[in-house]
Structure 1
Amino acid sequence: MPLSRRRVFTVLAGLAAATGASAFWSASMRNYSGPVSDHFDGARFFDPDGAPPKNFSDLWRWQREGGRAVWPVWAPSPFSDTPPQRVLSGIRFSFVGHASWLIQAAGLNILVDPVWSERASPFSFAGPKRVNDPGIPFGKLPPIDAVLVSHGHYDHLDVATLSKLRAAFGPRVITPLGNDAAMTAYDAAIRAEAFDWGDRVVLSDAMAVTLVPTRHWSARGLLDRNKALWASFVLETPAGKIYIVCDSGYGSGVHFRRVREQHGPLRAAILPIGAYEPRWFMRDQHMNPEDAVQALADCGAELALAHHHGTFQLTNEAIDAPAVALAAALKAASVPSEKFLVLQPGEVFAI
């Protein structure tokens, strides 16, 4: 049966969020221009230890196959956080939802992949819609000093939220090469700063962040695949280093082991556990909970906080499947459950 026009928009918007596929933005995207490197061929970025994204016939095969679990229309969290203005000792993590976090340490307030929009989509009327409110109401945010944006997919780079943050706080926005173009095309006043893998950015006298390779890819349109870079982050704080993995497949685990070798020891890791089904499609770009447990072992962090689950339905698994599967994976690996925590939006964890 032919897809209805609204269904076509919904499918495109869902693919835009999960894989960057949106024909409606491709013509206006500016391309990154820079020197050739071991992960940039002069036109597109690539991961020497990764895998190319699936092609469009695979995208449509996934949609045709079905198997998508039904999520609740609304699944509110019982938590809502009102953060302090500053945290001077230790580290305070507040889970906003999906891949969005507020990290407070050494007097600095840092947001990771902030999405306060209703949909993770280029469209206001279609695409993945959040099933719970952000864990911090926007009006209760403390002054935001810096924002880390990992890559261009719509569930991570939300230009409307970045523009709203710019108007309220004027933070620095640290992002991999090429993603700054999407931000400033929407709002020229966004203070976007683009960096390469291996670049270390000083945030204050006490804190810095380094962009590190991750097994993923990036796009915001049908024609701009891998024309902007993607990254994970290692955040240096006086209380220890935090490894922030916003999106990643597992592969051979080499990315996680290299971070341990080059940046360890790590006090904590933020690791994705959701958006992993069907595995034939998602394996190369998203970890499942079993992969995430192995990634924790590989990177050597003392503990992990789970994310990328429970707010936007991007893939086939049920809303509670990642948490259930993580508990089983931890038990199978003889890892104590308190070493890999699953928070709900609005919940807080402190070191």
Structure 2
Amino acid sequence: MSRSLSSGLRSLQPAAFGAEATGARLERIRTSPNFADGQFRNPEGARIRPDGSMLEFAKIYFRKEERALRAPTGTVPVHATTLADLAKPPASGLRITWMGHSSVLAEIDGVRVLFDPVWGERCSPFGFAGPKRLHPTPLPLAALGPVDVVVISHDHYDHLDMPTIKELATTDAVFAVPLGVGAHLEHWGVPSGRLRELDWHESTEVAGVTLTATPARHFCGRGLRNPQHTLWASWVAAGPEHRVYHSGDTGYFEGFKDIGAEHGPFDVTMIQIGAYSEFWPDIHMTPEEGMRAHLDLQGTAVSGPMLPIHWATFNLAPHAWSDPGEGTAAAARRAAARVALPVPGQPFEPS
């Protein structure tokens, strides 16, 4: 294909597809120890495409009676977060507000860290198709107040939302992202000077909070080609007094123990426990696996609770809407572990 034709086809892509890494960014990707044979690699082998027949999965997922079973019964409870909820500093120095799915505002020792913000109506490149919200956002993004740093785990649509990023690009927030993801953000108007693009085990400091990109077991991609040139990560955010962990999307792997040994214990872990399926067992965790990851991260220390994330907001898998929350509560009882189960928008202080 000629260069002009290829460029022309790229110009027809939806803006939400983002942009591919080029130049110095691409060279940095190619020299990463986690990049081999033209793509990023997982810490442990992972099948990133559904097991079995895609047709069989589609039959289950789109069957009318199955959709009815997966839907929430009644209205999803949401706490209408107000300025009063967030205006007063947390008494403990740490306050967590889960906004639904994987979006979390963590106020850590006076610094406001926003993980995987998705305020859009659909996690899709198109406004007319794709998984739609099951509940409204707890508050408008503009009412959230100043954010010091936005942290992105990877570039899938339910974690990286173009309209949300474009709105945050007009603020003074710094953006901490895995390698390659910065190309999308620059394409949407985030100045390069406000980007911190990290490989696994690299750190950056923002306003006294150290952010470290840590391994995860997942994959990437937004467009038609998906050359696996953007990294996925979990994140540690450590302030002078408190530290938290956000898993992003990941399958279970032994590396949680190493992350906990190096960076833990944590005042709260935010762990993915939804959108799991036997069709993709290596890239998302079940509630039981999520609890196992939490215990690995915390080690033997007396430590903070687990906040289950990546559920309740979008219907992305063939399990019932309530299964991830109920499964996590049951796993916590079996493990005698602490778990936080706020409704979206309800702030809490781990203690």
TM over 0.5: same fold?
yes
1:219 to 218, 221, 224: 221
In the alignment, which residue of structure 2 is the partner of 1:273? 273
Report the alpha carbon displacement of residue 143 of structure 1 after superposing the two structures with TM.
0.7
Does structure 2 retain, via aligned residues, the 8 Å contact 1:71–1:319? yes
Aligned pairs (5 A) from 1:10-21: none
**1:192 & 1:175 partners in 2: Cα distance?**
8
In the alignment, which residue of structure 2 is the partner of 1:39? 34
For residue 345 of structure 2, what is the amino acid of its counterpart?
A: G
SS, match of residue 340 in structure 1: coil
Report the alpha carbon displacement of residue 297 of structure 1 after superposing the two structures with TM.
1.2
In the alignment, which residue of structure 2 is the partner of 1:18? none
Are 1:192 and 2:191 an aligned pair?
no
Does structure 2 retain, via aligned residues, the 8 Å contact 1:113–1:156? yes
For residue 284 of structure 1, what is the amino acid of its counterpart?
A: D
In the alignment, which residue of structure 2 is the partner of 1:11? none
For residue 98 of structure 1, what is the amino acid of its counterpart?
A: H
- Once the two structures are overlaid, the 10-residue window that deviates more, 36-45 or 192-201, is 36-45
In the alignment, which residue of structure 1 is the partner of 2:343? 344
In the alignment, which residue of structure 2 is the partner of 1:137? 140
For residue 323 of structure 1, what is the amino acid of its counterpart?
A: G
1:282 to 280, 284, 294: 280
Are 1:91 and 2:94 an aligned pair?
yes
In the alignment, which residue of structure 2 is the partner of 1:329? 331
CA root-mean-square deviation:
2.4
1:108 to 108, 111, 114: 111
Q: In 2 relative to 1, CA 247–291 (structure 1 residues): closer, same or farther, beyond 3 Å?
A: same
Alignment deviations for residues 211-238 of structure 1 (CA, whole Å, 9 cap, x no partner): 0001111111232142100000111023
Alignment deviations for residues 111-159 of structure 1 (CA, whole Å, 9 cap, x no partner): 1000011001111001010011112332321111110001000000112
In the alignment, which residue of structure 2 is the partner of 1:30? 20
Paired residues, number:
320
Q: 4+ residue stretches of structure 1 with deviation over 6 A?
A: 23-28
Report the alpha carbon displacement of residue 192 of structure 1 after superposing the two structures with TM.
3.0
For residue 51 of structure 1, what is the amino acid of its counterpart?
A: A
In structure 2, stretches of 5+ residues that fail to align are 1-12
Alignment deviations for residues 159-217 of structure 1 (CA, whole Å, 9 cap, x no partner): 210111122x2211110001111122222547333111111111123x11100001111
TM-score (norm 1): 0.84
Aligned pairs (5 A) from 1:181-330: 181-189=183-191, 191-205=194-208, 207-250=209-252, 253-277=253-277, 279=278, 281-300=279-298, 301-330=303-332
**2:243 & 2:199 partners in 1: Cα distance?**
20
Report the alpha carbon displacement of residue 327 of structure 1 after superposing the two structures with TM.
2.2
Q: In 2 relative to 1, CA 172–26 (structure 1 residues): closer, same or farther, beyond 3 Å?
A: closer
Q: In 2 relative to 1, CA 298–74 (structure 1 residues): closer, same or farther, beyond 3 Å?
A: same
Q: In 2 relative to 1, CA 231–28 (structure 1 residues): closer, same or farther, beyond 3 Å?
A: closer
Does structure 2 retain, via aligned residues, the 8 Å contact 1:86–1:107? no
**1:234 & 1:215 partners in 2: Cα distance?**
16
For residue 168 of structure 2, what is the amino acid of its counterpart?
A: L
Does structure 1 retain, via aligned residues, the 8 Å contact 2:47–2:283? no
**1:232 & 1:274 partners in 2: Cα distance?**
16
In the alignment, which residue of structure 2 is the partner of 1:9? none
**2:50 & 2:134 partners in 1: Cα distance?**
29
TM-score (norm 2): 0.84
Q: In 2 relative to 1, CA 345–94 (structure 1 residues): closer, same or farther, beyond 3 Å?
A: same
